[in-house]
Amino acid sequence: MDDFELTEAEALAALETFVREEASADRFSGAVLVAKEGEVLFSKAYGLADREREIPNTLQTRFRIGSMNKMFTAVAILQLLEAGKVDLKAPLGTYLTDYPNRDIAEQVTIHQLLTHTGGTGDIFGPEFFAHREELRTLNDYVELYGERGPEFEPGSQWVYSNYGFILLGAVIETVTGQSYYDYVHEHIYEPVGMTGTGSVPEDHAVPDRAIGYMDPSGGTDWRPNTDTLPYRGTSAGGGYSTVGDFARFADALLNHELLSPDSTELLITGKEEIVPGIEYAYGFVDHRGTDGNGWVGHAGGAQGMNGDLKIYPKSGYVLVALANLDPPAANRVTDFLDLRLPLE
């Protein structure tokens, strides 16, 4: 046992003290859940979902999750692989036959999109904010960014690409004949019982959806992030969920309810090194190391939102923190417990 590692009871007690202090200092507002092998060990909510109306966060609060959506997109692609509808080695143009840039269409494979090695670039920047409210479908993003060529030789390096996961969503729509949103609802959210998860547009009223609060000054001047949000979440991120739904998603993965055991291992096993000891898999980060005791999962963050899911396949622990504040509000919570959980 290292200097930080505690017993399970000690770790959970330390977590409760830490999160309470973070919330009291206005560094955390959100919900936290810890489970092991399907049993919830800790679940609490802190802070306000709506500061103006003084509505508290609860375990049913729906928090925007940023890039955590990428896990759902990757699961969907591997489901289509199992169904024989997608080939990971095939270039994008196999599915998006009229894709504007031929270099991207002919050279970038589905595997490279899943691992951020295709050189497809980002979606955020001046163009996004100039067209933020007009980008309503995945095809709208393709029309805006589809003329761009690869930023580097596909497969030659790892550079995080939100646009790559937009393209994966477009592939899902093409091969299924469904919208991305209908597919993940029907094949992931509904079978798992994720009733609080979705990507309903921001101009629709969604019960229990928290307001995100950002502070450009980095102090305590919290203000709503409304004017920074996309029209709706996409296959790259921006939807919303609850801590309970993420726990159900993690259990379904570990119990092979969404994918076969082989496909699940393909999904979560690292393929591209991000930094020493941490690899990117397919829409998941693999931080298990040589002893397999670590976690797989994905975080998400933008102004006024931060979330993190850590799944420990070997020990069965699942950690979820979702926050309606700027990063690293949720990551601080999961990182704190990660150092202290008894994983052997």
Whether the predicted pLDDT of 296 surpasses 90: yes
| Topology given in CATH for the domain delimited by 8-68+210-233+237-338 | Beta-lactamase (3.40.710)
What's the residue count for the chain? 344
pLDDT score recorded for residue 291: 86
Contact present, 56 and 208 (Cβ < 8 Å): no
Whether the predicted pLDDT of 5 surpasses 90: no
pLDDT score recorded for residue 299: 98
Local structure of 268: helix, strand or coil:
helix
Confidence band of 217 (pLDDT split at 50, 70, 90): confident
What is the mean pLDDT of the segment spanning 305-311?
98
Contact present, 163 and 123 (Cβ < 8 Å): yes
What is the mean pLDDT of the segment spanning 282-288?
97
Between the two ends of the chain, the Cα-to-Cα distance in Å is: 9
Domains in the chain: boundaries = 8-68+210-233+237-338, 72-180
Cα separation, 105 vs 49, in Å, equals 43
Question: Taking CA 80 as the corner, what is the angle to CA 74 and CA 82, rounded to the nearest 5 degrees?
Answer: 105
Cα separation, 128 vs 120, in Å, equals 15
Contact present, 320 and 32 (Cβ < 8 Å): yes
pLDDT tens by residue, 103-122: 999 999 999 999 999 999 99
Active site residue 67: yes
Whether the predicted pLDDT of 216 surpasses 90: no
What is the mean pLDDT of the segment spanning 220-241?
94
Cα separation, 342 vs 327, in Å, equals 26
Contact present, 109 and 92 (Cβ < 8 Å): yes
Residue 283's nearest CA partner among 98, 31, 40, 81 is: 81
The residue whose two tokens read 């102004």 is 303
Confidence band of 318 (pLDDT split at 50, 70, 90): very high
The residue whose two tokens read 């001046």 is 126
Alpha helices in the chain (DSSP H): 8-24, 69-82, 102-107, 110-114, 126-131, 138-145, 162-176, 180-184, 190-192, 243-254, 261-268, 329-338
pLDDT score recorded for residue 221: 86
What is the mean pLDDT of the segment spanning 81-99?
98
Tell me the whole-structure pTM to 2 decimals.
0.96
pLDDT score recorded for residue 1: 40
CATH class of 72-180: alpha beta
Whether the predicted pLDDT of 344 surpasses 80: no
The residues with which 311 forms a beta bridge, in sequence order, are 296, 318
Whether the predicted pLDDT of 3 surpasses 80: no
Whether the predicted pLDDT of 166 surpasses 80: yes
DSSP letter at 46 equals: E
Burial of 335 (C-beta count, 10 Å sphere; 0-12/13-18/19+): middle
For 337, the token pair is: 């417990």
Q: Which residues, other chains included, contact 3 with Cβ-Cβ below 8 Å and sequence gap of 6+?
A: none
Q: Which of 29, 43, 67, 263 is catalytic?
A: 67
Residue 318's nearest CA partner among 255, 258, 229, 274 is: 255
pLDDT mean across residues, the chain: 96
Q: Which residues, other chains included, contact 290 with Cβ-Cβ below 8 Å and sequence gap of 6+?
A: none
